[in-house]
Amino acid sequence: MRFPLLATGLMAALVNLAAPAAEAFCGFYVGKADTSLFNDASQVVLVRDGERTVVTMSNDYKGELTDFALVVPVPVVLKREQIHVGERRHIERLDAYSAPRLVEYFDRDPCAPVQMEKRMSAMGAAPGAKGGGGGSMDKSLGVTVEAQYTVGEYDILILSATESEGLETWLRESGYKIPPKASKALAPYIKQDMKFFVAKVNLKEQKATGFSYLRPLQMAYESKKFMLPIRLGMANARGPQDLVIYALTRQGRVESSNYRTVKVPSDMDVPVYVKEEFNQFYPALFSKAHEKAEKRALLTEYVWDMGWCDPCAADPLSNEELRALGVYWVNEGDGVRGAMGGVPVTLTRLHARYDGEHFPEDLVFQVTNDKQNFQARYVLRHAFKGEMKCDEGKEYLLQLDKRHRKEAETLAELTGWSLGTITKKMGADAPGKKPAKDQEGSWYQKLWK
């Protein structure tokens, strides 16, 4: 069943929260000018089927476009037809669909069923129911330009190299400013005989697009390796980076095979005031979970069939949108969309916070057969505030106080926040608070009890 429980404004806040300003790819940025280049966060879409992979790299680079470039290790020499410029909106849609979410429920009047039963009893009624390969080789540096293309607003080179120092020198002599740790970071990929995808902005073509930002780059290739290079991304990072990975498969959930993959805490009741502080709540929860996993694990935030959702943070992507991201096995008209309508696409949302100390290796993944749904979901339960003049109402208030106490303790455990601060912010919902007089019933109802 699919039901939009949440207000639009609430979900917009979640989307913004869960989509950190992405300033990095899996590689590193290099620039000719002294631009402020640094990596903080990134979003990547991986489509995997057998040995086929399509990678979409978000790009929210905010520096000057002049002399911007990007270097990413790739397993093979890519042909022109294997490179594409995608649309940012598709990644934004994936993010909105899979974002951690709040759901709200409202308690019903605990006295209402009693009144209804009494009335029905009295009535005697029963209750119902640019093309071409390169080949120009600088032998002295061991660097080969395997191919070069212009795709959209990007000029792209595919390089191979025999030594990292030679590649670093080649990039420097070509006018690129290389981060200090680049040579060391490049070496492991050269040992694996990987190639280097170097993308640079073609200012003329970029101006012609009319976009004020750089669109995502996409690559499609076949390789036994199902991995994401992250070590280059640390070369010009100033600290731990956040990486959100959206993996789309037809088989099932995706997990890392060389790091632990754990689920983020979910399905817990928290005080209703969290609705106004969700932008602080979820980052605090994520940090606590990250530390609990000793900063060495990927956290799963979402696993679901792309055909439906429950509750929906945003509508599932259409087949057209999925194909644009590289899900080649779906076509318009495939699958039954709507309530419980599944499609052969499972989305896994993974969130990694990594640095060189805790993630010394690149991320390697495997596709599992697990299709069990999971989502980072937190529950707000609003108490009934009306008048209650029945025994059930008294019991409700007693249980409500216990519930509020549990919610406060849960929030403190999830975030590390002070229990005293939490109960203060809960206001009238704080455990131990006396209910309003109109909820207690009249004085004579309690006189002989």
DSSP collapsed to 3 states, the chain = CCCCCCCHHHHHHHHHHHCCCCCCCCCEEEECCCCCCCEEEEEEEEEEECCEEEEEECCCCCCCCCCEEEEEEECCCCCHHHEEECCHHHHHHHHHHHCCEEEEEECCCCCHHHHHHHHHHHHCCCCCCCCCECCCEECCCCEEEEEEEEECCEEEEEEEECCHHHHHHHHHHCCCECCCCHHHHHHHHHHCCCEEEEEEECHHHHHHHCCCCCCCEEEEEECCCCEECCCHHHCCEEEEEEEEEEEEECCCCEEECCCEEEECCCCEECCHHHHHHHHHHHHHHHHHHHHHCCCCEEEEEEEEECCCCCCCCCCCCCHHHHHHCCCCCCCCCCCCCCCCCCCCCEEEEEEEEECCCCCCCCEEEEECCCCCCEECEEEEEECCCCCCCCHHHHHHHHHHHHHHHHHHHHHHHHHCCCHHHHHHHHHHHCCCCCCCHHHHCCHHHHHCC
Q: pTM of the entire structure?
A: 0.81
For residue 323, is it within any domain? yes
For residue 29, is it within any domain? no
| 66 and 204 together in one domain | yes
| 239 and 311 together in one domain | yes
For residue 134, is it within any domain? no
| 333 and 355 together in one domain | yes
| 403 and 432 together in one domain | yes
For residue 115, is it within any domain? no
For residue 10, is it within any domain? no
For residue 25, is it within any domain? no
For residue 236, give its domain range: 36-110+148-259+296-379
| 202 and 319 together in one domain | yes
**How many domains are there within the chain?**
2
| 417 and 325 together in one domain | no
For residue 188, is it within any domain? yes
| 330 and 357 together in one domain | yes
| 311 and 421 together in one domain | no
Domain end marker among 362, 379, 396: 379
| 420 and 367 together in one domain | no
pLDDT in tens, the chain (449 residues): 332 333 322 332 333 333 333 334 455 544 332 323 334 568 999 999 999 999 999 866 767 777 677 888 999 999 999 999 999 999 999 999 999 988 888 998 888 765 555 555 554 444 333 334 444 446 678 999 999 999 999 999 999 999 888 888 888 888 776 676 677 888 999 999 999 999 888 888 888 888 878 899 999 999 999 999 888 777 666 788 889 999 999 999 999 999 999 999 999 999 999 999 998 999 999 999 999 999 999 999 999 998 888 778 888 999 999 999 999 999 866 654 544 556 889 999 999 999 989 999 999 999 999 999 999 999 999 998 888 888 888 888 889 999 999 999 999 999 999 999 999 999 988 988 766 555 555 556 556 65
| 306 and 427 together in one domain | no
For residue 169, is it within any domain? yes
| 165 and 236 together in one domain | yes
Domain end marker among 339, 356, 379: 379
| 361 and 405 together in one domain | no
